[in-house]
Amino acid sequence: MEEKIIAAIIVSAIAFVSIYAFTPILIKFLEKRNLTVKDANKKGNVMIPRPGGISILIGIVASEITLYFFFPISEILAIIITSILGFSVGIIDDRKVMGGWFKPVALAFCAAPILLLGAYDSNLDFPLFGSVKIPSLYLALIVFMIPITGNTFNSIDVLNGVVSGFTTIASFALAISLFVQQNYEIGIACLCLAFASLAFYKYHKLPSRIFPGDSGAVMFGATYGVIAIVGEVEVIAAVAILPAIINSFLFLSSVKRIVEHREIKNPTLHADDFKLKSTDENHAPITLVRLLVAKKPLSEKQICNEILKLTTFSGVLAIITAFMMGAKIL
């Protein structure tokens, strides 16, 4: 246990410090090369550097590789490779807006390391009902889960600080759940993601100094997804990110097709005081943000706080679910 505690402290520090230290350098680099995008929710022509996914990649991969030296198991190796592949998919989309089907299909291939390394168990655990063994169906679940989490995290990246704050809360909740389940090695791997997103939140929170871009948001989601699979906590992981799942469900059910989110009508408008309000456009998609501003306009800060409150509630539910399912003897 002492070795695990030491490993947790070291890799968490690497994830946090590397991103905290490198991100300001990346901001200057991107600004110097005019790699910026307009912040649509700010008055005037406020330009923000993007993508910050490069910094996130460094923190996550450096910490996970260090963890692999402590515990050289296939599950951690699968996390490392899947995270890199998730970043690669996102950075392509950052450089050029791809079609709606690009990310889901490309992210399906990101699940290959999990399958090739055999870093999974075909049992699916549910609270109260116990474990269900679904060998063939579970293989399909793996292929679908990385695109689902990657796109779900990416779709909630709509306001300053949301996706990084969301990932921080959900990842800490999942890490605690993994410790409750006595899956300590993967719990520590999840701490790497939690501290990486926490460090990036410092620069992404309102007012943002840098945007993660698809490379950062998709990698957050892909890393979260692979941790859920190799840690055998898929149901718990889903509970922790319920706000993002609801957002994606609302979006897809209203749009009724797979589409690149940057190619659709904006579901919100700016009021005279630049608060966000719901659009009256019938063809605009329904999203979590649109629901939050349905009754009255809210500021960007108010919306961010509401989303993070919902995520905190979901995180607590996830931890309760982990206790209900009981500890596993690994």
Q: Are 142 and 136 in contact (CB under 8 A)?
A: no
Q: How far apart are CA 194 and CA 66, in angstroms?
A: 16
- Asked if the structure places residue 277 within a domain, the reply is no
pLDDT value for 327 = 57
**Count of domains for the chain:** 1
262 band by pLDDT with thresholds 50, 70 and 90? low
Question: 164-178, 190-204, 210-224, 246-260: which has the minimum mean pLDDT?
Answer: 246-260
Q: What does the pLDDT average to over 216-241?
A: 96
CA distance 76 to 188: 10
Residue 198 near residue 169 (C-beta atoms within 8 A): no
Q: Does residue 120 lie in a domain region? A: yes
Whether 329 shows a pLDDT value over 50: the answer reads no
* Domain hosting residue 307, numbered range: 2-256+300-325
Residue ranges with strand state E in 50-176? 123-126, 130-133
Looking at 122-212, list the stretches that DSSP marks H as alpha helix, in order from N- to C-terminal side: 135-155, 162-180, 184-204
Tell me whether residue 95 is in a domain: yes
Evaluate whether residue 36 is within a structural domain.
Answer: yes
Split at pLDDT 50, 70, 90, the class of 191 is very high
The two tokens of residue 205 are 């929170």
Residue at 269 is within a domain: no
Residue 330 lies in a domain: no
Q: Does some domain include residue 90? A: yes
In a domain, 105, yes or no: yes
**Least confidently predicted of 102-116, 196-210, 217-231:** 102-116
